Amino acid sequence: RFDAVDLNFETAEGGFEKKGEKTKALVSGANSKPMPQGGKSIEKKIIKDGTITLRSQKVELSKIWIDSLLKKHGGYYQSENLDNNDQRISYDLSVRVPSQHFEALLNDLQQGKEECMGKSISARDVTEEFVDIESRLATKREYLQQYRLLLSRAASIKDILALEENIRVLQEEIDSQEGRLNYLRDQVNY
């Protein structure tokens, strides 16, 4: 999974302070650890987000350096915003990296020439939601299979139409829950 990192860079030039890059990096990681539950192990699903603010003397060089760190850690920019005016140059970067690289990326960012002005990290455990959705999906798939079996045996048009409507509604619910599950997987993995 990936977690978010917010990077802020500031640079001083010409006797006045120019605020530089502000980078928000979304980094998620599958910080998944088995969690025992009723005889079977459940893999924890954790979504991490982080923000880091850096001050730089050379914002442009700092941006190139961050580009190289993202490449090194298999990440990418989710969004990139540049604000360049008379008072400051700043970047607001939102990046996503594989969860297993989250801590390493933050460590690399703090070890650079840029001054770390602030950092915050948060984690959300979505294991319960993940398990709940998977369980509901399994049940709905079983019902869907039973409805399709009944449909193959239906004799009247009225029964066929009623079963087809039940199948349609159930399929929509399955599609919706699969979409949510895929979203959670993405957030856990990046």
Instruction: Examine the pLDDT at 68 and tell me if it is beyond 80.
Output: yes
Per-residue pLDDT averaged across 1-19, rounded? 38
Measured CA to CA, the distance from residue 10 to residue 6 in angstroms comes to 13
Q: Kindly report the length of the chain.
A: 190
Interval 134-156 mean pLDDT: 96
What pLDDT score was predicted for residue 11? Answer: 35
Mean pLDDT of all residues in 67-82: 96
62 within 8 A of 114, measured Cβ to Cβ = yes
H and E: helices and strands count for the chain = 4, 10
Per the DSSP assignment, residues forming a β-bridge with 48 are 123
The pLDDT value recorded for residue 103 is 93
Q: What is the mean pLDDT of residues 27-43?
A: 54
What span, in angstroms and rounded, lies between the C-alpha atoms of 165 and 56?
61
How far, CA to CA in Å, does 40 sit from each of 34, 36, 43, 130, 142? Answer: 9, 6, 10, 16, 22
CA distance 24 to 77: 9
pLDDT of amino acid 42: 83
* Predicted pLDDT of residue 24: 35
Rounded average pLDDT over 83-96: 92
